[in-house]
A = this chain, B = another copy of it.
Amino acid sequence: MSNNAIARNYAVSRVQSKCTTCSLRELCLPVGLDERETEILGELIDHKFRIRRGEHLLHTGLGFKSLYTVRNGFFKSYVLDSDGCQQVTGFYMTGELLGLDAISSEKHTCDTVALEDSEVCEVPFAKLEEISRDIPLLMHHFHKIMSREIVQDHNIMMLLGSRKAEERLAAFLLNLSERFAKRGYSSTNFILRMTREEIGSYLGLKLETVSRSLSRLQEEGVIAINNKHVRLNDIQRLSRKLYSSSDR
């Protein structure tokens, strides 16, 4: 099994590599790879980091070497513009890939901070490109991941550009819901790891507006919200919130 060209080139170790046993295989980079390919990928992920809540994983301006996959936990990325105004560009959960923005300039363009105690796997980018030459599926999947990021950003642009506060919140909650569901958590009952201010920053709203919109959704009975804990009572009705705006 290890007796083939690829295995020789990459000197697959006998110790079980981390990826092969990782429960995230199907969410993360190794999607669709076979055992051997996964093992090769696992070889390259040499470091696993533990990041405590509030600590930074990445800083703007930092030289780019690696991508990071969230092994567990929760992150936010944000950009600080010239006058110190912070804008959250994304929230990242288990299996998602951090640092894609840095490939173009070879410097990170966001700060990334853990919103709860978390672990990440470091993926040295040069090595990733190298082995993806031999594992076309990996290369293709990586392209899909980057493309997905672009699509997601377009969706956010859509929200920011033409949706009212309540619609943005609805979209935000539904997006979280889906992502939790995909990870085997409840799609209707979850904890918001971020503050109202961070939600607002992501959605282009002030924290007071976030608070008010959530309150209104609760009054309407569509959601129940208690501090950080949310329950989606009526996903149907929540979804309908998205379809009711003016043109722009």
Contact = CB atoms under 8 A, between A and B. Distances in A.
Contacts of A160: 157, 160-161, 204
A203 B160 CA distance: 9
A201 B81 contact: no
Given A133-B136, A143-B103, A157-B157, A83 B243 contact: yes
A150 to B, nearest CB: 5
Given A100-B147, A103-B147, A148-B104, A246 B157 contact: no
A139 B146 contact: no
A15 interface: no
Contacts of A203: 161
Interface stretch (A84-92, A112-120, A182-190, A215-223): A84-92
Interface in A119-172: 129-130, 132-134, 136, 139-140, 143-151, 153-154, 156-158, 160-162
A9 interface: no
A150 B200 contact: no
Interface string A200-226: 111111100000000000000000000
Interface of A: 79, 81-87, 89, 100-105, 109-110, 129-130, 132-134, 136, 139-140, 143-151, 153-154, 156-158, 160-162, 200-206, 242-248
Given A85-B245, A101-B147, A129-B139, 12 more contacts: A79-B158, A81-B158, A82-B242, A84-B247, A87-B158, A87-B162, A87-B248, A109-B151, A130-B136, A146-B147, A156-B157, A161-B203
